[in-house]
Structure 1
Amino acid sequence: MRVLIRNVVLCVCLATLLAGCATRSLFQPYPSQAQSWKSALGPSGGASAIKRLQDGAESRDGVLYLQELGRVEQLAGDDRASRDAFAGAFVHYQQNDEAARLRASSLVSNTGALLINDNARPYVAPDYERIYAHAYQALNYWADGDVTGTAVELRAAANEQRVAANRRDGEIADANSGANDLDLSRYQGYFEGLDAAAGRVKASFQNAWTFYLSALFWEAHGEYNDALVDYKKALEIQPDLDFIKEDVQRVSRSLDGARPLRGQGLVAVLFEQGFVPERQPLSLPIPTPHGIFVVSFPTYGLQGKPAPYPLTVRAGALESKTRVLADVGGLAAKNLREQVPGLLLRQTLRATAKYNLQKKANDDFGPVGALFTQLFNVVSEQADLRGWLSLPAYGQATRLLLPPGQQTLILSTPGGSATLTVPVVEGGLTVIHVAAPPGRLLTRVLPVQEGAL
């Protein structure tokens, strides 16, 4: 009778585990979920996809779904709904920052993750996602004509980059020190694809696209010191872009009292190409005191990473092509690469814990215990593939100096073209925000920026 009761308890626990895993999307990896709202991006929207994101916002991974919702609603043209979603994401940022300081909530959440997998950990938005969220929120305020709100969010995006830069070395040192007992060199070959995907990205928080956006805004409002600082930061990240060098020279002349935009206005095109690549699972052998365990590990590779292509902008006889300011896939890969020591340490501890669980179940419950632990290991060994997947693959930009008045622009990419008539104001700034999900070209002209703040 006692054996029967134990067997029944094991079966109930197994059923509960499988149900719990299903709710945590272990049977439907996050990239599969994201297909529904990625395919719904655009003015036509997708009510079912948005409803799914709204429901997900109430989960432990709420910050991730709110970021996705903010992006989807923005490209659907609902700036107010997008603004509300990003505001909710910012609340999560604050809560996570406080939890990191207290080191309490993370200790509780990591306990389950140690035995199951990293999907059991509540999602924490990495720095590059937080920076993009503030930049998108700035565009929401910009579209609504709220200059003050725009300025606040642009400063928040810059602050995220500054804070990330200040803490990055310490975080990497902590991750490496925590994994001192691991021979990381034995795993180098497994991460060659990850290193290749990161490309020329030096740090996961360096985003020239957001710096360039804010520099344009400050220049249009006569804040030349701030504009010069942000143009130079963008140029430091992307030193080969001649048009940013010209921007630095132009604002420097403005600081000296010149009027380099006399009889002209700035027309800037912010171009977002495709979707950021998805994480891929990688089988990785982890040695334990009891043998080798094969675990599933997230990674990126060059396969599936799109090549950048420009948006061509024509205004009469003038023509300009956008250039890449942010390789978002590279930022994501670099962020994951910086986490590798900590991920390897958790996987090693997890493999050891699972072995001990399996051994005890075999000893205590016999064949039923063996079946339970084997199924547990199969179900729970899933790589953490979560990430903000409606972000673009590349953030690009270009700009033209045009005479005041209504100007006709022709935009063209391999995926489509559009003709726009835009207002140009002497000394002012007209921004065209363009997104190109696969097979589409979404455009919107933001309100002209001019005059003192």
Structure 2
Amino acid sequence: MALLSGCASQSLFVSYPSQAAKWKSELAHTPAQPVLPAADAQTGESSNASPAGLAPANTLAPSPSVSPVISKLEGATAGADGVLYLQELGRVSQLQGRREASRNAFASAVAAYDAEDASARIQASSLAATGTALLTNDNARPYIAPDYERIFTRAYQALNYWAANDATGAAVEFRAAALEQQVAANKREKEIAKAEEEAEENKIDLNQFDGYFDGLNAVAGEVKSSFQNAWTFYLSALFWEAHGEYNDALVDYKKALEIHPDSTMLKEDVQRVSAAMDRKRGDEGGLVAVIYDQDFVQPRAEFSLPIPTVHGFFSVAFPTYSLQDKPRPNSLRVLDTGSQPLGETQVLADVGALAAKDLKERLPGMLVRQTLRATAKYNLQKEANDNYGALGAFATQIYNLVSEQADRRSWLTLPAYAQATRFSLPQGEHTLILSTPQGDATLTVPVVNRGLTVIHAVAVPGRLITRVLPVQEGPL
């Protein structure tokens, strides 16, 4: 108990969603700051490409100082769950306009992924945590970022480089995101097979728990894969198209279309790039794309799962997702100053469903650990009763009650839905209106013939955060 008390401030005994609520609230109440102009695409000097006409509280802008909440978040990155806090820090810093802090946090998260991928280190760290986890909860195990989180890290890091007008850096991150998606399928299949083998070795029937996860299955059933992310494919496809890399753009548009085969927008994108490859595309103006992050992804819930042991049933806390807690998708509409509609975003990544699918795929391994944990805790309680009487039994009962916390860790500043739309406009400056349930914003954006202008809009409770990224055009 004395050994474990030092961890009580983190996820071991304090639920992760309650921790994350602090920095999510920070984003909703970030003080207003003056907007810095974007760098000119050619000279790097200030230009008129930055947002205009917004209320200061609704703009993404640098924060001159770090709050106590963010300082605490930064301090948590040194612990066993460091990669999770690094992801949160990268996202929060990005939305606060602290670009360098965001780049550094995401770069450190990627370094942590590389360490995770070194199998010897993963095995050693997992074995070191097993003894503690058997007597506490899964929060004692070091956090391993799931594939969908790793892919979003790469995509948001690409946006960081894009905002700094570093097309080469953005290209590297987009390619890394694509590679993450390529290797994820085979890796996950091996993990599930290994967990099922462990269940068989420990004579644990996983099918007996099926009825307890109807809500999780309903949320997870909205996606086919826990890692395929059409939003990332779409963003990278836009980038490649703007730089004339039509083959790469077509590949990524088609991958996005495979995930959303009924999308008229994606079908048109495939046709447009195919025409460009055949040199049939004219100079019809420039593309404007709106990348829209809606709200925050839902946290894991907790429920009590009865685990059968040789001594009878033992109740353990288990994570899940439910449809009742899932936010509804709300689109962003783009209008011109005459209130004529130009575009409306569509969902390309249901992040809550990705998270639920990931949890569902992890169930076999988690159920094995929970069954072993239930037996270990029962034995601990029986031994205390035998050796120390009623007082020992009472102490272990209290400990078991306090330590029984579901593993609710996940990246919670990710959006509930990642959306996008695009349309063409003639070359020149255009004033656009972004309309969402969180409020409206008016932006003046530059459009370059056969170039790409991207608006990144993020809706958090009570705020609409926006920024216009530097125009992408010409060869890389």
When normalised by structure 2's length, the TM-score is 0.89
Cα distance change, pair 354–102 in 1 and its aligned pair in 2 (3 A): closer
More divergent stretch after superposition (23-32 vs 212-221): 23-32
Pairing partner for 1:34 from 12, 20, 32: 20
The within-5 A match list for 1:195-206 is 195-206=217-228
- Counterpart residue number, 1:131: 151
> Where do 5+ consecutive residues of structure 1 fail to align?
1-13
Deviation by residue 1:71-102 (Cα, 9 ceiling, x = unmatched): 00100111111001111111111111114676
For 2:362 and 2:258, how far apart are their aligned partners in 1? 25
The within-5 A match list for 1:111-126 is 111-126=131-146
The within-5 A match list for 1:324-403 is 324-403=347-426
For 2:362 and 2:74, how far apart are their aligned partners in 1? 29
CA contact (8 A) 2:298 2:412 kept: yes
For 1:80 and 1:182, how far apart are their aligned partners in 2? 49
Cα distance change, pair 104–219 in 1 and its aligned pair in 2 (3 A): same
The within-5 A match list for 1:43-442 is 44=31, 47-99=67-119, 103-180=123-200, 181-260=203-282, 262-315=283-336, 316=338, 317-442=340-465
Task: Report the Cα offset of residue 48 of structure 1.
Answer: 1.7
Q: Output the amino acid matched with 1:205.
A: F
Q: Output the amino acid matched with 1:325.
A: L
For 2:130 and 2:96, how far apart are their aligned partners in 1? 37
Task: Report the Cα offset of residue 27 of structure 1.
Answer: 4.3
CA contact (8 A) 1:325 1:394 kept: yes
- Counterpart residue number, 1:5: none
For 1:399 and 1:102, how far apart are their aligned partners in 2? 42
SS in 1 for 2:323: coil
Task: Report the Cα offset of residue 184 of structure 1.
Answer: 2.4
Cα distance change, pair 250–393 in 1 and its aligned pair in 2 (3 A): same
CA contact (8 A) 1:269 1:398 kept: yes
For 1:190 and 1:21, how far apart are their aligned partners in 2? 30
- Counterpart residue number, 1:3: none
SS in 1 for 2:228: coil
> Where do 5+ consecutive residues of structure 2 fail to align?
32-62
Deviation by residue 1:41-91 (Cα, 9 ceiling, x = unmatched): 165366122111111111111111111010001001111110011111111
For 2:168 and 2:94, how far apart are their aligned partners in 1? 19
- Counterpart residue number, 1:4: none
Task: Report the Cα offset of residue 21 of structure 1.
Answer: 5.0
Q: Output the amino acid matched with 1:144.
A: A
Task: Report the Cα offset of residue 171 of structure 1.
Answer: 2.1
For 2:24 and 2:445, how far apart are their aligned partners in 1? 29
Q: Output the amino acid matched with 1:239.
A: P
Q: Output the amino acid matched with 1:206.
A: Q
For 2:146 and 2:191, how far apart are their aligned partners in 1? 12
CA contact (8 A) 2:115 2:121 kept: no
More divergent stretch after superposition (19-28 vs 440-449): 19-28
Compute the RMSD of aligned alpha carbons.
1.5
Q: Output the amino acid matched with 2:125.
A: S
Task: Report the Cα offset of residue 380 of structure 1.
Answer: 1.2
CA contact (8 A) 2:300 2:408 kept: yes
SS in 1 for 2:292: strand
For 1:177 and 1:253, how far apart are their aligned partners in 2? 50
Q: Output the amino acid matched with 2:179.
A: N
- Counterpart residue number, 2:5: 19
More divergent stretch after superposition (172-181 vs 90-99): 172-181
Cα distance change, pair 100–243 in 1 and its aligned pair in 2 (3 A): farther
Cα distance change, pair 389–254 in 1 and its aligned pair in 2 (3 A): same
For 1:354 and 1:133, how far apart are their aligned partners in 2? 37
CA contact (8 A) 1:154 1:214 kept: yes
Percent of pairs identical after alignment? 64
For 1:102 and 1:334, how far apart are their aligned partners in 2? 23
Task: Report the Cα offset of residue 266 of structure 1.
Answer: 0.4
For 2:475 and 2:266, how far apart are their aligned partners in 1? 23
SS in 1 for 2:193: helix
**Equivalent pairs, count:** 438
Q: Output the amino acid matched with 1:29.
A: S
For 1:116 and 1:21, how far apart are their aligned partners in 2? 11
For 2:11 and 2:181, how far apart are their aligned partners in 1? 32
